[in-house]
Amino acid sequence: MADMNDIYEQLQEQEQAKLNAAGLTDVKFRVGWFKVDDHLRLEARLAGPPASQKKARELLSFSKEE
């Protein structure tokens, strides 16, 4: 069975490739453990200009904006 970190990395590369193909090279897709309040949570996050993030969410079917 694949290591979970390998799976996260593959997902990250796959989704970043979708963004790059759509011309959203200023947006970065990241999967990882992020500190939320006093605990860690596995999340997928976007980084980049807000307008580009909005387009990326539509492309990647993100249903929630935080």
| Separation between Cα atoms, residue 8 and residue 10, nearest integer Å | 5
Q: How far is CA 36 from the centre of its chain?
A: 16
Q: Where do the domains of the chain lie?
A: 4-60
| Separation between Cα atoms, residue 50 and residue 37, nearest integer Å | 24
State residue 5's pLDDT score.
Answer: 83
State residue 2's pLDDT score.
Answer: 66
Contact (Cβ atoms closer than 8 angstroms) between residue 19 and residue 51: no
State residue 36's pLDDT score.
Answer: 85
pLDDT in tens, 13-64: 999 999 999 999 999 999 888 888 899 998 889 999 999 999 999 998 755 5
Higher pLDDT, 64 or 7: 7
